[in-house]
């Protein structure tokens, strides 16, 4: 039993640093989740466009929405391309 306790204490010593780091990361991520849950007030950043006529505001809104859609589609295509590259590299069958 002495050998078992020695091995167990050695493993605990080796993994205590990564476990404490992961515990700290979980704690920090939990605290940031509380801050993020408050939301982001985008209107304060886009208030300079508030002086534009409503038609131009609609143009800018449409432009921003189309950019977000384009970027999300690009990300989906990139992820699918990586998936197929990994699948071809591994050769599942």
Residue 78 has pLDDT above 90, yes or no: yes
For the chain, the straight-line distance linking the first and the last C-alpha, in angstroms and rounded, comes to: 48
Q: What pLDDT is attached to residue 7?
A: 87
**Could you tell me the pLDDT band of residue 34, with boundaries at 50, 70 and 90?**
low
Task: Report DSSP letters for 25-69, one per residue.
Answer: HHHHHHHHHHHHTT---GGGTSGGGGGS-HHHHHHHHHHHHHHHH
> Does pTM surpass 0.85?
no
- Alpha carbon distance 3, 82 (integer Å): 48
């Amino acid at each position: 039993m002495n050998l078992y306790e020695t091995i167990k204490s050695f493993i605990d010593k080796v993994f205590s640093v990564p476990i404490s780091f992961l515990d700290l990361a979980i704690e920090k991520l939990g605290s940031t989740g509380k801050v993020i849950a408050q939301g982001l007030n985008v209107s304060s950043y886009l208030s300079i466009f508030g002086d534009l006529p409503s038609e131009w505001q609609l143009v800018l809104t449409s432009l921003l929405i189309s950019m977000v859609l384009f970027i999300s589609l690009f990300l989906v295509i990139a992820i699918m391309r990586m998936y197929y590259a990994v699948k071809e590299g591994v050769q599942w069958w």
